[in-house]
Structure 1
Amino acid sequence: MRPDTLPFRPWGRRLAAVLLPWLLAGCGAAVPETPARPAMWLVEDDDTRIYMLGTMHALPAGTKWDAGKIADVADAADELVLELSPQELSAAGEVFRTLAPRSAPLPMDKRLSPEALARYRALEATGGDFGGDTLDDWAVMVLMGQRVTQNAEFDPSRGVESRLTAQFAAAGKPIGGLETAHGQLNLFETLDPQTQRTLLTRAVKGTDKAVEDVRALTASWARGDLAALEKVINEDVDAVPAARQAILTDRNRRWSAWVKKRLDRPGTVLMAVGAGHLVGTDGVPAMLGAEGLEVKRVQ
């Protein structure tokens, strides 16, 4: 496992690709380019423009998302802001290794029903033992997300953040982050045991369709289909309210506050975060709109 590209599939079958940037996947064969037009919004005042681009943290080969309006914005932007800065992303592996182990092993057959355990073992069989007995429930989901992403042949080096990071670094433009790796992982580490177990059980239940679902979600993202993205988010998170509050709503509220404060300084900013954070009534654009700011969809 590369320590700088930890995977994650928080709950359900599809959210890895839209919420958190710790995805690791194998490289697929070269394929023809597939055009994508992901959704992007703009909030601005007299001297500041902040573009908010919904990302996929890992993508299949051939996905061409960085043309047209996005290319123009990336060229014009003074800085790039991601969920995690490159430095924080590189620290994620060590943070995971620190937080993931249980204080005492607990066999997976004590955590999962026989049917769920069979699905879990089937996913393990596609690439090797997860070592889940020694890990917290949330950490087991991390490794499951890694495997699903590998099986789908998605690659973080083709993901939006990786490509934008390379572009801004080459241009000598600053790249910042909204959170720390420890802060993101600790969101899951501090969930109560019952919530963690619920998330793990739901994730295992969906393993048979996980690759299909992640690919379908990516197609919705590529079309800029907000209704489809919101449906996926709501289906997965509404079943676990404590997780939704901590992992989605509270973070979006903090990011909205960051956007409002950043408007006090002049410049053009490209803020690129998981697409799941930008859709729905508790997405960042909706939160900003509710506070009286004009937020325009520009792609």
Structure 2
Amino acid sequence: MEAQDHALEAERRGHGAGLWRKGEERSTAVDAGGAGVFEGAIMLKRLIAPLAALLLSSCSLFGEDADPALWVVKDGDTTVYLFGTVHVLKPRMHWFDEGVREAFDASDEVVLEIAKPDPQAIAALTAQLGTRGGPPFAPEVDAAARELGMPAGAIDKQEPWLAALTLAQLAVKKAGYDSGNGVEANLSEAAEDAGKPVKALESARGQLMLFDGLSGAAQSAMLEETVKALPGTKARLDKFVAAWAKGDAESVGAEMNRGALASPEVAEALIARRNARFADWVAARMGQPGTVFVAVGAGHLAGKGSVQTLLGEKGLKVERVVY
């Protein structure tokens, strides 16, 4: 593990070269004070934050009914439900009922992207992988960070991928959204209350390594796309959550994957390869009896190369659950 960490450090030193001001040399020192660079680092596990589309809902005073999309794969003795999640919601959106609740209640186990993480461990790992020394980013990056409440220059202590994630999360938080209202948080709590085992498709470290392993060019593209997208965040989120709430999977996928499409490398690392792994897991699980409720980011269940498409290529029939 120590050798791997040294290799990661060497790789990080080459990231984001195009984002520093011209005429300044980059320091190789890493500022240990960066431990506070990402408030609520637990959100990193979701991976869709840099796409600036992750998540949210707009609710009326008395609540809003939502009927998000749900799919099922089954054979004689195995049933796997596939549910697309959003990671942060405002209160009073009623999605955990009807068909979704029935599928959850019928399941023997719940499978999420990652299991409930230790926030302190995530924060420490984020600081390890995501801090840097050297010249500052371009002025527009710091300006965006300051507008979202960060101190001047604080964003410059972060690697480009973490800076993108931080800006996206701060924009979400400023809009009044809470991870405690997100789908995964509710599913985890409900599983615990019902005594259902919760399993994970990925680890927190593995998800962070996906970002940290991106090339400097891909990280730069991700950060630049995030900064450009910030002014339109609310409008996009309103559109996104409306699509999710009515089960419009294609619109959800298009919005959540928009940021990744700015870089083919980002799309391959964060979407395509993970879709393939998720589909492989489901296909293998079909060899064991039982009923499973699988919940992953909604972008993985929509569009070209979706988990459902890949399962179909493996000869498995995926059906939309009508409720």
Give TM class, smaller chain: 0.7 to 0.9
Q: CA RMSD in A?
A: 2.2
Q: Which has the higher mean CA deviation after the structures are superposed, 124-133 or 48-57?
A: 124-133
Per the alignment, residue 55 of structure 2 pairs with 17
Pick which of 33-42 and 236-245 moved more: 236-245
CA contact (8 A) 1:8 1:145 kept: no
The aligned residue for residue 278 of structure 1 is 301
In the alignment, the residues of structure 1 paired with residue 78 and residue 47 of structure 2 have an alpha-carbon distance, to the nearest angstrom, of 33
Deviation at 1:126, TM superposition (A): 3.2
Q: Which residue of 2 aligns with 1:124?
A: 146
Once the two structures are superposed, what CA deviation does each residue of 1:38-65 show, in whole Å capped at 9, x if it has no partner? 1111011111100000011110121110
- Return the alpha-carbon distance in structure 1 between the equivalents of residues 231 and 167 of structure 2: 12
Name the counterpart of 1:213. 236
**Distance in 2 between residues matched to 1:126 and 1:89, nearest whole Å:** 22
Q: Name 1:193's counterpart in structure 2.
A: 216
Q: Structure 1, residues 1-30: CA drift from partner, whole Å, max 9, x if none?
A: 34544476554431x329xxxxxxxxx999
Q: Are the equivalent residues in 1 in contact too, given 2:112–2:201 (CA < 8 A)?
A: yes
Alignment match, 1:69? 99
Matched, 1:33 2:56: no
Q: Would the alpha carbon gap of residues 92 and 30 (structure 1) be closer, same or farther in structure 2, given more than 3 Å must change?
A: farther
> Computing the radius of gyration over CA atoms, which structure comes out larger, 1 or 2?
2
1:169 aligns with 2:198: no
Number of residue pairs matched? Answer: 281
Name the SS for the 2:201 alignment partner. strand
What corresponds to 2:321 in structure 1?
Answer: 298
What is the SS of the residue equivalent to 2:259?
Answer: helix
Aligned equivalents of 1:127 and 1:145: distance in 2? 13
| CA distance in structure 2 between the aligned counterparts of 1:255 and 1:217, rounded to whole angstroms | 23
- Which residue in the other structure is 1:47 paired with? 77
Distance 2:123 2:270 in 1: 19
Distance in 1, matches of 2:88 and 2:188, equals 14
Correspondence for 1:179 among 192, 195, 202: 202
- The equivalent residue for 2:12 is none
Distance 1:90 1:35, change over 3 A: farther
- Relative distance call for 1:161 and 1:11 in structure 2 (3 A) is closer
Aligned to 1:105: 134
Counterparts of 1:3 and 1:237 in 2: how far apart (Å)? 20
Q: Is the 8 A contact 1:83 1:273 kept in 2?
A: yes
**Which residue identity is paired with 2:300?**
H
The answer for unaligned runs of 5 or more in structure 1 is 19-27
TM-score, normalised to structure 1, is 0.87
Structure 1 residues 12 and 172: alpha-carbon distance in aligned structure 2, compared to 1, 3 A threshold? closer
SS in 1 for 2:68: coil
TM-score (norm 2): 0.81
Give the one of 72, 96, 115 matched to 1:85.
Answer: 115
Q: Deviations over 1:47-89 (max 9, x none)?
A: 1100000011110121110110111111111110000111467
